[in-house]
Amino acid sequence: MRTVDTAYLLSRISLGDRQAFRHFYDATSPRLYAIALGLLRRRDEAEEVLQDTYVGLWHSARTYNPERGTVQTWLNTIIRNRCIDRLRQSDRRLVQPDDESWSKIASDLPTPLHHLMTDQDSKALARCLEQLDVHQQESLALAFFEGLSHTELAGRLDTPLGTVKARIRRGLVQLRQCMQT
């Protein structure tokens, strides 16, 4: 499968390039549809939200700021927010995907670690990461910086899935406590 430069395509879309939009849609829509379907649980609503997202993107492609995250992260945030808006309009609750689904969806969404990565906090975060044991550091790095799901982590580390989940959970709790002090 060929890698697509979505940032370049997005810049072309902001200039009205329909061909770039077609390629961009083909490259990004399957993941966005999966997110919408996972949150809304109805194909018709997921398709409508997906369509609304791309119509909005056609008009607002120039608002993407690469300093705030990747194109995929930006798109994931947009579709997630549109799904939440749709659920609020219909007075339904947000469906919480199971752990496996959520880890796939959330791998590109901004994480607490992502929001902490400012010049001001990077030293504190590095100090807190050093306080974690080696296994927690490795699990968190692979999960958040490489975007691996818990299952993928378990396979790569040759470690039981429950152990991987526990390491990540304990590591995040320790990081949160350390960053608050």
95 or 19, which is more confident = 19
Residues 112-180, CATH architecture: Orthogonal Bundle (1.10)
Token digits of residue 65: 């700021």
User: Looking at residues 49-63, what average pLDDT do you find?
Assistant: 93
What does the alpha-carbon distance between residue 33 and residue 118 come to, in Å, rounded to a whole number? 31
Q: Could you give the residue range(s) of every CATH 1.10.1740.10 domain in the chain?
A: 6-104
Nearest to 49 by CA among 59, 60, 36, 31: 36
Token pair 């879309």: residue: 13
pLDDT in tens, 132-164: 898 998 888 777 766 678 888 898 889 999 999
> Between 1.20.1250.20, 3.40.50.2300, 2.40.30.10, 1.10.1740.10, what CATH number should domain 6-104 receive?
1.10.1740.10
The pLDDT of residue 122 is above 60: yes
Q: Is 83 exposed, middle or buried (0-12, 13-18, 19+ CB in 10 A)?
A: buried
Query: How would you class 63 by CB atoms within 10 Å of its CB: exposed for 0-12, middle for 13-18, buried for 19 or more?
Result: exposed
What is the DSSP code (8-state) at residue 158? Answer: T
What residue spans in the chain does CATH classification 1.10.10.10 cover?
A: 112-180
Vertex 24: Cα angle to 19 and 150 (nearest 5): 165
Give residue-wise pLDDT tens across range 64-120: 888 888 888 899 889 988 988 888 887 655 454 555 555 555 555 444 444 444 445
- Taking Cα atoms as reference points, which of 61, 76, 52 lies closest to residue 8? 61
